[in-house]
Chains A and B, each alone.
Chain A
Amino acid sequence: GAVVSQHPSRVICKSGTSVKIECRSLDFQATTMFWYRQFPKKSLMLMATSNEGSKATYEQGVEKDKFLINHASLTLSTLTVTSAHPEDSSFYICSARGDTHRLTYEQYFGPGTRLTVT
């Protein structure tokens, strides 16, 4: 149980285009999902917290107009990188916290999406 998927696993796009990454909780409902960014050989940096039916909360320094987050259902959150630039190339990981897991604050992580902007 508690499986989180991400799609696509790998994407290459041209500079100036937009890319959408999906994060799905497959066997549980997740009111809250999180988006992280990981640079090579670095730790995970929280970008934003996504809550179903409301606006995402972005961490300081993260451009909300560039990284659009939509949490339209209890099992799906999307991250859209708009007008992508090479410096946006990174490994993006989402996680979901099931409503039944809120007391333990456990997050279940997706497999990640490797974005390369050329």
Chain B
Amino acid sequence: AQSVTQLGSHVSVSEGALVLLRCNYSSSVPPYLFWYVQYPNQGLQLLLKYTTGATLVKGINGFEAEFKKSETSFHLTKPSAHMSDAAEYFCAVSEGNYGQNFVFGPGTRLSVLP
């Protein structure tokens, strides 16, 4: 069975600073990996996903993530944080070949300080 861990339940960065949100996964088959963002009292919005192919994935709002199989990681980065990036971020894994259910990580709350 797959699982996801996110190091750091709360991350604070200054506006304009680098954003780094960590995600590590375990999966018995090649994984499909996702990052979602959730604003208060709202559903989830897909930031980016990795299925196959290029390991550096670019998403919306300037975010990108790199799939590193050797490290079983899929960390999310953004070069320069904006105030509007403050939200909850969830990493998720789906077993690509036949699994259909997502397993979500516990989430990381990102605060952006002025």
Tell me, yes or no, whether A109 is within 8 Å of chain B by CB.
Answer: yes
Residues in A whose Cβ lies below 8 Å from that of B51: 104-105
In the complex, A105→B99 CA distance in Å? 8
Q: Do residues B43 and A46 form an inter-chain contact, with CB atoms below 8 A? A: no
Distance (whole angstroms) from the CB of A49 to the closest CB of chain B: 7
Q: Do residues B100 and A32 form an inter-chain contact, with CB atoms below 8 A? A: yes
Q: Is the interface of A mostly helix, strand, loop or mixed?
A: strand
Give A4's nearest chain B residue, CB to CB: B43
Residue picked from B94, B100, B109, most chain A C-beta under 10 Å: B100
Report how many A-B pairs have Cβ atoms within 8 Å: 54
Give A91's nearest chain B residue, CB to CB: B41
Q: Do residues A104 and B43 form an inter-chain contact, with CB atoms below 8 A? A: no
Categorize the interface residue count of chain B. 20 to 34
Categorize the interface residue count of chain A. 20 to 34
Interface members, chain B 65-114 (any A CB < 8 Å):
90, 94, 96, 99-107, 109
Tell me, yes or no, whether A43 is within 8 Å of chain B by CB.
Answer: yes
Binary interface encoding of chain B residues 28-68 relative to chain A, with 1 for a CB under 8 A from any of its CBs, else 0: 00001010100001111110010100000000000000000
Q: Which of B46, B90, B105 is in CB contact (< 8 Å) with A106?
A: B46
Q: Do residues B49 and A104 form an inter-chain contact, with CB atoms below 8 A? A: yes
Q: Do residues A110 and B49 form an inter-chain contact, with CB atoms below 8 A? A: no
